[in-house]
Amino acid sequence: LWTAATQTHFCHPSNRFYPALRGAGLIDFSIDTDLGMTDQQRAKFIGRGLGITNLVQRATVRASELDKEELRLGGLRLVELVADLRPKVVAVAGITAYRSAFEERSATVGRQAREGEAEWWVLPNPSGLNAHVQIDDLAAWFRKVGERAGLV
């Protein structure tokens, strides 16, 4: 819900998304979690070749609040968006969401074997609730994906 209030994806103070992006060398600024991204930061983010969307277009406190059908429909929408925008790399944060959205129960974190021009990756969920993954590990995953996209 914090994300919805700030109009900035992954903006909760306990979320490690932006610190991991910074640690990976993908961004060079910090996000004020009370205010969200400024227009200047948003322009810099997009200008860097980065983009973010949600699988499901509603705010929740926990991923477990989403049902499988919402995620499946979100996966279909994401596939259409990728076909339109044609990015080099698509990264989905969270293995559980990916498995549900794309009905790939055996998917693991890392590069996925999906058809199409884009490379698809699943990364660990950066939420503070995912405490067994440390920020340095997240940054390493983000850097790997950034390298594949030609951004670092």
User: What is 62-107 written as a DSSP string?
Assistant: SGGGS-HHHHHHHHHHHHHHHHHH--SEEEEE-HHHHHHHHT-TT-
Q: How many CB atoms lie within 10 A of CB 45?
A: 20
CB-based contact 89:121 (threshold 8 Å): yes
pLDDT per residue as tens digits for the range 21-69: 999 999 999 998 888 999 999 999 999 999 988 888 777 777 778 889 9
Residue 119: both structure tokens together:
């490379």
Which CATH entry fits the domain spanning 2-148: 3.40.470.10, 3.40.640.10, 3.40.190.10, 3.30.559.10?
3.40.470.10
pLDDT per residue as tens digits for the range 134-149: 999 999 999 999 999 9
pTM summary value: 0.87
Residue 118: both structure tokens together:
């884009």
16 φ, ψ (degrees, to nearest 5): -100, 15
* Domain boundaries defined on the chain: 2-148
Strand-pair partners of 89 = 119
